A and B are shown apart, each in its own frame.
Chain A
Amino acid sequence: MRIVPFPGHDGASTEETWLAELDAALSGADEGPLADSWRELREDVRALAPPMTADFERQLAQRIAERRSHRRTLKVHGTLTRWLHRRGRPLGAAIAAAISVAVVAVVIAGPSQSGPPREAAPAPAFRSAPSASSAGPASAPARVQQLGASVTLTATPSEVQTTADRVARLAVSDGGFVQSSRVQVQQAGTSEANLMLRLPSERLSAAIASLERLAPVRAESQSLQDITDAYDAARRRLADATAERQALLRALSQASTQGQIDSLRERLSQARTAIAQARSALAGVSRRASTAEVEVTVLGDTHAGSEGLTLHRGLEDAGRVLTVTLIVLLLAAAGLVPSALALAALVTGRRAWLRYRRERALD
């Protein structure tokens, strides 16, 4: 009878104890028949496997040595490349990303050319007003519009008067005039100048651009009012008055009695007055369309500088750049985080799938 010894255990040993005994026996830390049995079983199992041939062992060692020498060559010639591949890649990507974000932020924020943010000015629709004297038929439906604008400039208190004078000269040079002006300069407190300009409507955009170059712009607005109905009404009134005068003249040429002649002459006088009034009204509407009313305010601000950098402006610019940078980063994170999560889920899922497929090979 042959007994195949097998390391048994009493039923009271827990699995953990059993595993600990197994490890202790296999590592040689434990002695006794039980430990000997484990070691014998291990040697029996190991002995069943055919050994590695000497040829294969030599080939394997040679292959590893060749690979190592190839890698050493790469190391000699590409130390920096390897460093970049190992450690520099994440660092380089981070630096590139930071530079990109900063460039985008600066481009979006833009350099500050004036003080606080300005009100957005609506784009007016500039149309040349038709001549006040023309009463001919309209060839196309053209609108008659009255344009207006308001510009607030800033200057140091000592430069308010100078800036107001420059505004007035600019209005004249652009073919307009100063309708009214008021300048208040104080030694202590605020200084302010208010000018009401009348400028040719077709040159309003250029005039505003010229005003913006005189001093920093704090606020700007433009307006547009359609006065086509008023213009048409004035034209019709003139046409009617003219037509009535023509009719009276024809009637006068046919008058036979002195009484008729006197009456017709009286009415002709009234018609001439009506025509004059109609022409005046039409001229007024035309003038409204052909000239734009521009209100210019010059505020005396101790922090205002016509040109150059100030700490205040620099801080404002820096704040704007930081705000835009934060927004860009948030947008990037909003886009990248879900992508990174999805990629991580894909990688994890792929690993789990590969592992599942491998384990199935044992089934």
Chain B
Amino acid sequence: MRTGLDDVTFDALFRECASDVHAYAISLLGDRPTAEDVTALAFERLYRSRSRLDRRRGTARAWLFAIARNAALDELRRRRRQPQCELEEHRPLERGAARDSGGGWQAALEQVERRAIVRDALSALPLRERELVLLKFHGQLSNAELARALGISESNAGTRLHRALTRLRAQLLELDRKEVA
């Protein structure tokens, strides 16, 4: 039975997920205007179809990211080019500084370097696997929700995620080895 999404729940979902949807979109597409368009389109479509939400088939968050993913893929298909990831390097430093409670500048520097390696490792992943990792981490989706967003079975989603993160791990180790060398 469809339960729908009332206005209060929709507002809560917006407050909770708007930044995550935007982060996913900009990480995948690479430029801010397009990411903003995709984010707005995702919430627009969610609002239009909110009466059709069937909670037995997935959470509202998974549904939102499925819509956002489709919008982002439509944009990719229209552009037919690899996104240029221009990420701001000062952000990790700011976040690291906010998290550090006692490590000081050395811990913050390590964080910046670590995140640079993570960024490079992500960029080296094939687009399909990179998109999966971004969806998992920005969307903060469980494996079941991830499967719902991808429109595939849970076991299939788990297999793909395992493969993507394993490859990411290999990339990180490789980059770290080069860095050390």
Q: Which residues of A contact B (CB under 8 A)?
A: 1-4, 6-8, 15-16, 18-19, 22-23, 26-27, 41-53, 56-57, 60-61, 63-64, 67-68, 86, 355, 357-363
Tell whether A63 pairs with B118 under 8 Å between CB atoms, given A46-B138, A48-B87, A52-B19: no
Most chain A beta-carbon neighbours within 10 Å: one of B44, B114, B117: B114
Q: Which residues of B contact A22 (CB under 8 A)?
A: 143, 161, 165
The yes or no answer to B5 lying at the interface (CB within 8 A) is no
Q: Which residues of A contact B134 (CB under 8 A)?
A: 45
The yes or no answer to B26 lying at the interface (CB within 8 A) is yes
Q: Which chain A residue lies CB-closest to B80?
A: A361
Q: Which chain B residue lies CB-closest to A19?
A: B158
- Give the contacts of B22-55 with A (CB-CB under 8 A): 22-24, 26-27, 32, 36, 39-40, 43-44, 47, 51
Q: Assess whether B180 is in contact with A1, with CB atoms less than 8 Å apart.
A: yes
Most chain A beta-carbon neighbours within 10 Å: one of B7, B14, B23, B88: B23
- Give the contacts of B151-181 with A (CB-CB under 8 A): 151, 158-159, 161-162, 165, 169, 172-173, 175-176, 179-180
The yes or no answer to B70 lying at the interface (CB within 8 A) is yes
Q: Assess whether A8 is in contact with B169, with CB atoms less than 8 Å apart.
A: yes
Q: Assess whether B43 is in contact with A64, with CB atoms less than 8 Å apart.
A: yes
- Listed by A's residue number, 27 A-B pairs whose Cβ atoms lie within 8 Å are A1-B180, A2-B113, A2-B176, A4-B117, A19-B162, A22-B143, A22-B161, A23-B142, A44-B111, A47-B95, A48-B87, A48-B92, A48-B118, A50-B91, A51-B23, A56-B22, A57-B19, A61-B14, A63-B40, A64-B14, A68-B7, A355-B151, A358-B77, A360-B77, A361-B76, A362-B73, A362-B76
Which size bracket describes the interface of B in this complex? 35 or more
Q: Which residues of A contact B61 (CB under 8 A)?
A: none
Tell whether A48 pairs with B142 under 8 Å between CB atoms, given A2-B176, A19-B158, A60-B43: no
In the complex, what distance in Å separates the CA atom of A67 from the CA atom of B119?
A: 38
B140, chain A: closest CB distance, angstroms: 7
Tell whether A46 pairs with B142 under 8 Å between CB atoms, given A1-B180, A6-B173: no
Given contacts A2-B179, A52-B39, 13 further A-B contacts (CB under 8 A): A2-B110, A3-B176, A4-B114, A4-B118, A8-B169, A19-B158, A22-B161, A45-B138, A46-B23, A47-B91, A48-B118, A64-B43, A360-B77
The yes or no answer to B74 lying at the interface (CB within 8 A) is yes
Q: Which chain B residue lies CB-closest to A360?
A: B77
In the complex, what distance in Å separates the CA atom of A359 from the CA atom of B69?
A: 10
In the complex, what distance in Å separates the CA atom of A4 from the CA atom of B22?
A: 27
Tell whether A49 pairs with B18 under 8 Å between CB atoms, given A2-B179, A68-B7: no
Tell whether A67 pairs with B47 under 8 Å between CB atoms, given A48-B118, A49-B23, A51-B19: yes
- Give the contacts of B128-145 with A (CB-CB under 8 A): 128, 131, 133-134, 137-138, 140, 142-143
Most chain B beta-carbon neighbours within 10 Å: one of A7, A44, A64, A358: A44
Tell whether A4 pairs with B172 under 8 Å between CB atoms, given A47-B95, A358-B73: yes
Q: Assess whether A60 is in contact with B39, with CB atoms less than 8 Å apart.
A: yes
In the complex, what distance in Å separates the CA atom of A51 from the CA atom of B7?
A: 25
Q: Assess whether A359 is in contact with B73, with CB atoms less than 8 Å apart.
A: yes
The yes or no answer to B122 lying at the interface (CB within 8 A) is yes
Q: Which chain B residue lies CB-closest to A363?
A: B128
In the complex, what distance in Å separates the CA atom of A239 from the CA atom of B51?
A: 98
Cβ-neighbour of A42 out of B74, B137, B159 (below 8 A): B137
Q: Which 10 interchain pairs have the tightest Cβ spacing?
A: A49-B23, A358-B73, A361-B76, A361-B77, A362-B128, A52-B22, A45-B137, A4-B176, A44-B118, A42-B137
B149, chain A: closest CB distance, angstroms: 12
Q: Assess whether B91 is in contact with A51, with CB atoms less than 8 Å apart.
A: yes
Q: Assess whether B92 is in contact with A47, with CB atoms less than 8 Å apart.
A: yes
In the complex, what distance in Å separates the CA atom of A57 from the CA atom of B43?
A: 12
Q: Assess whether A18 is in contact with B162, with CB atoms less than 8 Å apart.
A: yes
B89, chain A: closest CB distance, angstroms: 9
The yes or no answer to B127 lying at the interface (CB within 8 A) is yes
